C-alpha cells in the first residue's frame, strides 16, 4: 500500500513586503553595535545570498490557524471529499498563534483543534494534534499520515503546515528579512495505483546541532531581554545542510529503487536560494551528474521563507501552473526535502 496527496491547497497572504521596505530599519550586530555601512549594502548582500525580493505577511486580523483553515478548505475542495471522513488532522508549526502586535504564543487549544473547529467537523474520532518539527514539519506530518494509513489506523488525513514568522522576528536582526507567513494543506489517503509515496528518510541531529535555531533576545540592548525572537546561526546551518541533506536525499532515492535520471522535480524547503542550489549540486555530484535545467522550482524570490508552509505551497503552485517555466506531468517522480530546527532533515520520493 502507498499513500498519495489527494488534495492540496495553500493560503498566500496578500500583504507584500519588499526589500526596500527594510531600508529604514536599524540593523545591529549581535553585540548591539551598528554595522557601519548603509542598509542599501545590507539589502543587496541579502538578496544576492537568499534570492528574496519580496515576502508575504499575514493580514493583521489573521493568525496562523486562520491561514491553515483557509488552506485546508482549498485542499478539501481540491480532493473533493467530505471533511467528516478525515481521521487525523496533523498541524505542523513552530510558534502557535501569535496575534498581531503581541509576542506571546497561544497554543491552547492546539492549532489542529482550532482548524477542526473552523471546519465544523463534528466527528469526535477525527483526532487533531500539532507537531513541532521545525521547517520540515509538513513533510514529517505526511510521513506520520503514511504510518497511520499503512497501519490501518486511518484512511484519510489532513496535513497542514502554517506559520506567521513575521510576528516572532527581531526587527534589529538582518535575518528578519528572510522570514514570511503562509500556509499549505494536503489531504493524504491510500493510493491504489502507481502514484504516491515510494520511499522516505527522516532524522534528528541534536548533539552539537540542537541550538542552531533558537529563541533569543533582541540585538537591541534597550529592549526587554526576556522578550524572545527567532534566531539562527546561519553559517552553521548552511554547512550542516550541505553536509547532510544531499546524503539523506540519496539514501531516500536509492531505497525507492529508482535512479537519479528518473527524477523530474525536486521540491526543497525554501530557506535560502544559494543554500538550496548548493544542496542540489552536491546531491547530483553524489551520482557524478550535473543538475538538469528546471529541476528545482523556487518560490522564495516572491514569497520568502514561511517555514513549514514552503513545501506544500510550492507543490500547490507547481501543479496549478503558477511557477514560471515549470510544469509537472502525471507519472513524474519528485523528491520532497527539507531541513530545519532540531536540527531535523527529511525527504520522500513521490510519483505524481
Would you list the DSSP string of 3-14?
EEEEEEEEE--S
pLDDT for the residue numbered 240: 97
Q: Average pLDDT, whole number, for the chain?
A: 96
If asked whether residues 130 and 240 sit together in one domain, one would say no
Conformational region of residue 257, where left means phi above 0, alpha means psi within -120 to 50, and beta covers everything else: left
Contact by Cβ (8 Å): 15, 57: yes
Going from the C-alpha of 87 to that of each of 42, 122, 123, 131, 271, the distances in angstroms are 48, 12, 9, 16, 31
Predicted pLDDT at 168: 96
User: Distance between CA 317 and CA 284 in Å, rounded?
Assistant: 25
Single residue among 193, 226, 260 that ends a domain in this structure: 193
Q: Which of 193, 228, 260 is the last residue of a domain?
A: 193
pLDDT score, position 53: 96
Asked if 63 and 162 sit in the same domain, the reply is: yes
Adjacent-strand bridge partners of 104: none
Identify the burial level of 319 via C-beta atoms within 10 angstroms of its C-beta, where 0-12 means exposed, 13-18 middle and 19 or more buried. Answer: middle
Q: At residue 192, does pLDDT exceed 90?
A: no
136 and 258 in one domain?
no
Same domain, 149 and 242: no
Condensed to tens digits (0 to 9), the pLDDT of residues 47-105 reads 999 999 999 999 999 999 999 999 999 999 999 999 999 999 999 999 999 999 988 89
pLDDT at 103: 81
* Interatomic CA distance for residues 85 and 20, integer angstroms: 46
Determine if residue 70 is left, alpha or beta; phi over 0 gives left, psi from -120 to 50 gives alpha, anything else beta: alpha
Residues 110 and 128: their CA atoms lie apart, in Å, by: 8
Give the pLDDT score at 289.
96
Q: Is the pLDDT of residue 36 over 90?
A: no
Measure the CA–CA gap between 21 and 241, rounded to whole angstroms: 30
Q: Which residues make beta-bridge pairs with 229?
A: 216
| Beta-carbon contacts of residue 232 (< 8 Å; ≥ 6 apart) | 175, 212, 213, 214
Q: Is the pLDDT of residue 1 over 90?
A: no
- Torsion angle, CA of 235/238/243/247, rounded to 10 degrees? 170
The total of structural domains in the chain comes to: 2
Strand pairing report for 333-340 and 263-268: parallel
Q: Are residues 83 and 105 in the same domain?
A: yes
Q: Are residues 182 and 202 in the same domain?
A: no
Summarize pLDDT for 104-137 with one digit per residue, the tens: 899 999 999 999 999 999 999 999 999 999 999 9
Do 116 and 214 lie in a common domain?
Answer: no
- Residue 53 CB partners (closer than 8 Å, separation 6+): 18, 19, 47, 301, 302
Tell which residue, 47, 318, 106, 15, has the closest CA to residue 310.
Answer: 318
Average pLDDT over residues 255-267: 97
- The answer to whether residues 122 and 258 belong to one domain is no
- What confidence category does residue 154 fall into, taking pLDDT thresholds of 50, 70 and 90? very high
Task: Please compute the mean of the pLDDT values over residues 212-232 and round it to a whole number.
Answer: 94
320 and 227 in a single domain? The answer is: yes
In this structure, what CATH number is given to the domain that contains residue 243?
Answer: 3.40.47.10
Whether 15 and 161 share a structural domain: yes
Q: For residues 183 and 64, is the Cβ–Cβ distance under 8 A?
A: yes
Residue 55 to residue 182: CA distance in whole angstroms: 10
Kindly report, residue by residue over 294-341, the tens digit of the pLDDT: 999 999 999 999 999 999 999 999 999 999 899 999 999 999 999 999
Structural domain of residue 186, as residue ranges? Answer: 2-193
My answer on whether 206 and 335 are in the same domain is yes
182 and 308 part of one domain: no
Residue 194 has a pLDDT of 87
The share of the chain scoring above pLDDT 70, in percent, equals 100
Final residue in a domain of this structure, among 193, 223, 247: 193
What confidence category does residue 278 fall into, taking pLDDT thresholds of 50, 70 and 90? Answer: very high
- The number of residues in the chain equals 352
Show the DSSP H helices in the chain as ranges. Answer: 39-50, 64-79, 111-119, 137-151, 234-256, 273-285, 300-303, 310-319
- In our burial notation (b when 16+ CB lie closer than 10 A, e otherwise), range 178-196 reads bbbbbbbbbbbbbbeeebb
Amino acid at each position: 500500500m502507498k499513500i498519495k496527496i489527494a488534495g492540496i491547497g495553500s493560503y498566500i497572504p496578500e500583504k507584500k513586503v519588499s526589500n526596500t521596505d527594510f531600508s529604514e530599519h536599524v540593523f545591529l550586530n549581535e553585540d548591539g553595535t551598528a554595522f557601519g555601512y548603509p542598509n542599501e549594502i545590507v539589502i543587496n548582500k541579502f538578496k544576492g545570498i537568499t534570492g528574496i525580493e519580496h515576502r508575504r505577511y499575514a493580514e493583521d486580523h489573521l493568525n496562523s490557524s486562520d491561514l491553515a483553515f483557509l488552506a485546508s478548505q482549498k485542499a478539501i475542495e481540491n480532493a473533493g471529499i467530505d471533511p467528516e471522513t478525515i481521521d487525523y488532522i496533523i498541524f505542523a508549526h513552530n510558534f502557535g498563534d501569535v496575534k498581531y502586535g503581541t509576542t506571546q504564543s497561544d497554543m491552547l487549544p492546539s492549532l489542529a483543534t482550532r482548524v477542526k473547529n473552523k471546519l465544523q467537523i463534528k466527528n469526535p474520532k477525527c483526532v487533531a494534534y500539532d507537531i513541532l518539527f521545525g521547517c520540515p514539519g509538513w513533510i514529517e506530518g505526511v510521513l506520520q499520515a503514511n504510518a497511520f494509513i499503512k497501519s490501518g489506523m486511518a484512511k484519510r488525513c489532513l496535513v497542514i503546515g502554517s506559520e506567521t514568522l513575521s510576528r516572532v522576528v527581531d526587527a534589529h536582526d538582518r535575518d528578519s528579512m528572510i522570514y514570511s507567513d503562509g500556509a499549505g494543506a494536503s489531504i493524504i489517503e491510500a493510493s491504489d495505483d502507481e502514484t504516491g509515496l515510494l520511499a522516505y528518510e527522516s532524522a534528528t541531529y541534536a548533539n552539537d546541532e540542537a541550538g542552531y535555531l533558537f529563541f533569543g533576545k533582541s540585538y537591541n540592548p534597550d529592549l526587554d531581554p526576556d522578550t524572545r525572537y527567532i534566531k539562527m546561526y546561519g553559517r552553521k546551518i548552511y554547512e550542516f545542510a550541505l553536509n547532510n541533506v544531499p546524503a539523506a536525499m540519496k539514501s531516500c532515492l536509492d531505497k525507492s529503487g529508482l535512479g537519479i535520471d528518473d527524477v523530474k522535480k525536486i521540491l526543497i524547503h525554501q530557506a535560502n536560494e544559494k543554500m538550496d542550489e548548493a544542496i542540489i549540486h552536491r546531491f547530483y555530484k553524489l551520482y557524478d551528474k550535473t543538475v538538469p535545467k528546471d529541476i528545482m522550482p523556487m518560490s522564495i524570490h516572491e514569497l520568502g521563507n514561511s517555514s513549514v508552509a514552503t513545501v506544500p505551497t510550492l507543490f500547490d503552485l507547481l501543479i496549478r501552473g503558477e511557477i514560471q517555466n515549470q510544469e509537472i506531468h502525471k507519472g513524474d517522480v519528485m523528491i520532497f526535502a527539507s531541513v530545519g530546527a532540531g536540527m531535523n532533515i527529511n525527504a520522500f520520493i513521490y510519483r505524481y
